[in-house]
A and B are shown apart, each in its own frame.
Chain A
Amino acid sequence: MTGGQPTADNRRAATPSPRGFWGEAWARFQRMPLAMAGLVFVGLMAVVALLAPAIAGTKPIVCRYKGQIYFPCLAYYGRSLEPVVFSQDKFRGEYPRNLREKDPESWAVWPLVFQDPYRAVRPDEWPGRPGNPARDQGRPGRLNLMGTNQNGVDVFAKMVHGTLVALLVGFVSMGIAATIGVTVGSLAGYFGGWVDAVISRITEVVMCIPTLVLILALLAIVEKPTIWKMMAVLGLTGWPGISRLMRAELLRLRSAEFVTAARAVGASPGRIILRHLLPNALAPVMVPITFGIAAAILTESGLSFLGFGQPPPSASWGSLLNDARSNLKMWWLVFFPGAAIFLTVLAFNLVGEGLQKATDPRLREARK
């Protein structure tokens, strides 16, 4: 697929490929091993994040209890999804023993690793199994793949569930930022004049707000800081870069011949922006969006590390690093989340860089 087939490549150059712009870009992207590695890593993370409750947890994926089928593991996505029967029957989150004692007929499919990201597993919770060790006793081992923290909470479970937090922070905050940035930037770029002047000044004002300080200030005011509020702040302050790029891109494209041609067949401004300009301007803004995801993940980790993240029962990578501050001898509290943050940010940056190269108009011209 990479270098070894010059003939195949020549043939492709001789007869222009029938693929569209994104098809071309994807073909070029595939020829970049580092970028592909980054993309595969991001893909793996997404799988881990979505399947987190099935990979590590103390609630059955599926179980049959008193003649009914339940999916208790969904409770990890949202507490309200936990079936009411189990709290009525006083399970207190300890499924294995309770299931066996309260309904001998019951059966359950368990997550791959029986560990919980929010609490330590107690002795005999799973009949015959010891509880989690706490403090610096919780080295990585058979029961705790990546060790435990001071309170005996399993690090592996936290890491797995933290993947979802990291990706959510990255995608949701950049989703907000991209929506605002693309809209605002294209309006400024297309209409120009006073619209551009007003939007550009607002953009500059927002750019001057230091994100981290704003978040700290907000967390001081807000009663219950959650990652959602953090994402909102990251999104609402992260759009100026995207907006400015979008504006520049539309300024350039606005005078393109095909835009005049579209106007000459009677297309309206809205149609021209949405159909003719955005698809052409999207490639360049995909790059800062990808880098922005990495930056957002890093910011969230940083805040959690400083202790300004979601309050304690949280499964963010940064909060693990925060745990490590009190006892540096527990190296596993530094190594695993640190490596995960590093690799994730690296992966997103590699993907962004690959995207940049794959959609570079100069390279595109060269292939014609």
Chain B
Amino acid sequence: MPLLEIQDLVTAFHTPAGRVTAVDGISLSIERGMTLGLVGESGCGKSVTAMSVLGLVAAPGRVERGRILLEIDGDPVNLATLPESRLRRMRGGRVGMIFQEPMTSLNPVFTIGNQVAEAVRLHRRASWREARARALELLRLVRIADPERRLDEYPHQLSGGMRQRIMIAIALACEPELLIADEPTTALDVTIQAQILELLADLRRRLGMAILLITHDLGVVAETCDEVAVMYAGKIVERAPAVELFANPLHPYTIGLLAARPEHRAGGKGPLAAIPGMVPQPRDFPAGCRFHPRCGHARKPWCMAEQPQLRELSPGHFVACHFAGELDAARPTEPADR
């Protein structure tokens, strides 16, 4: 069985204005040692999915349906129904997590060593001295120069890339089997991004852990992921091995995303291609296919009336579109009015 299997996950927020479904029935699975990329525009529910896995969704949000099965010593454990105290042992123990904002993800009043050592001590019986030795080891693992000195420094003395390395060190403190990386490179500049991605790929090989990589950057996905799931408006619209997805995208949204990459412009010049419109707010998702107001292929009445389900078009390649595979015949037209 896979290391992590998410089945029909629904996470909703109960706001005074009404119920908002941020994640609407998604299913995913990650094998041991593999990297799954979860891709989509801002606000499509990627981060909420990640937070749901570890039960970190803040009130008024909560996981309402579905199972989150983590394989522990051969048995699947449903994280969605696990009591908080046992869930706490999963966090940082079996599953590590890193965040988008390395600038604010470290506590400003404690030294680096203190914070890394704390992560060690949360899950292992260790004296401060042992934890500190382990912290030093971890800083070396994430390739921080001059680790002895860095241990006694404060977060504000480090650059963004360094802080993200520290966050990775903290997440790896107890050798998790799964690392959830929520846009780990978004806040960093391009050269640092490449270094961090390379570090993650290297650590994955050396430690044999699986990675759930959340990003909106298809370039990042192409470089690092084995499999890709594309999310749109709380649903997964396409799922395929990375090579297959880039070679043969089937969902109009995926096609649009791939066309919107800067390197895809003809001759590297001209305006960037863009998908018209914006991701709808969870409060007013359109009926039928949620992408139809922005889709050049939408046809009445199917797309407006019926929500497409994920279908396996070729082995391992799933897509949720009524006309997937037939799009070449239907030339893109203007987006449908309604």
Residue ranges of A at the interface with B (Cβ–Cβ < 8 Å) = 16, 18, 20-21, 192-193, 255-258, 260-268, 275-276, 279-280, 368
Contact = CB atoms under 8 A, between A and B. Distances in A.
B109 A279 contact: yes
A265 B92 contact: yes
A280 B123 contact: no
A268 B56 contact: no
Given A18-B153, A257-B104, A265 B109 contact: no
B154 A20 contact: yes
B108 A275 contact: no
Interface of B: 54, 56, 58-59, 88-93, 96-97, 99, 101, 104-111, 118-119, 122-123, 152-154, 156-157, 167, 170-171, 173
Nearest to B114: A275
A256 B92 CA distance: 18
Given A21-B109, A279-B109, A16 B104 contact: no
A193 B14 CA distance: 14
A269 B90 CA distance: 15
Contacts of B56: 260, 263-264
A192 B173 CA distance: 31
A156 B119 CA distance: 57
Contact of A18 (B92, B157, B170, B173): B157
Nearest to B91: A266
Nearest to B154: A20
Nearest to A368: B156
A16 B157 CA distance: 6
Chain A contact residues: helix, strand, loop or mixed:
helix
Contacts of A20: 109-111, 154
A266 B108 CA distance: 19
Chain B contact residues: helix, strand, loop or mixed:
loop
A368 B157 CA distance: 9
Given A16-B156, A16-B157, A192-B59, A262 B107 contact: yes
A275 B109 CA distance: 10
Contact of B106 (A255, A261, A263, A267): A261
Given A18-B152, A255-B58, A265-B119, A280 B91 contact: no
Nearest to A361: B108
Given A255-B58, A266-B88, 18 more contacts: A16-B156, A18-B154, A20-B111, A258-B106, A261-B99, A261-B106, A263-B56, A263-B91, A264-B92, A264-B99, A265-B91, A265-B118, A265-B119, A266-B91, A276-B107, A279-B109, A279-B110, A368-B156
Nearest to B102: A257
14 contacts: A18-B153, A258-B104, A258-B106, A261-B106, A262-B107, A263-B56, A264-B92, A265-B92, A265-B96, A265-B173, A266-B122, A267-B122, A279-B109, A279-B110
Contacts of B110: 20, 279
A258 B107 contact: yes
B183 to A, nearest CB: 12
Nearest to B101: A257
B78 to A, nearest CB: 18
B137 to A, nearest CB: 17
Contacts of A258: 104-108
B156 A264 contact: no
A18 B153 CA distance: 6
A190 to B, nearest CB: 12
Nearest to A283: B109
Contacts of A193: 59
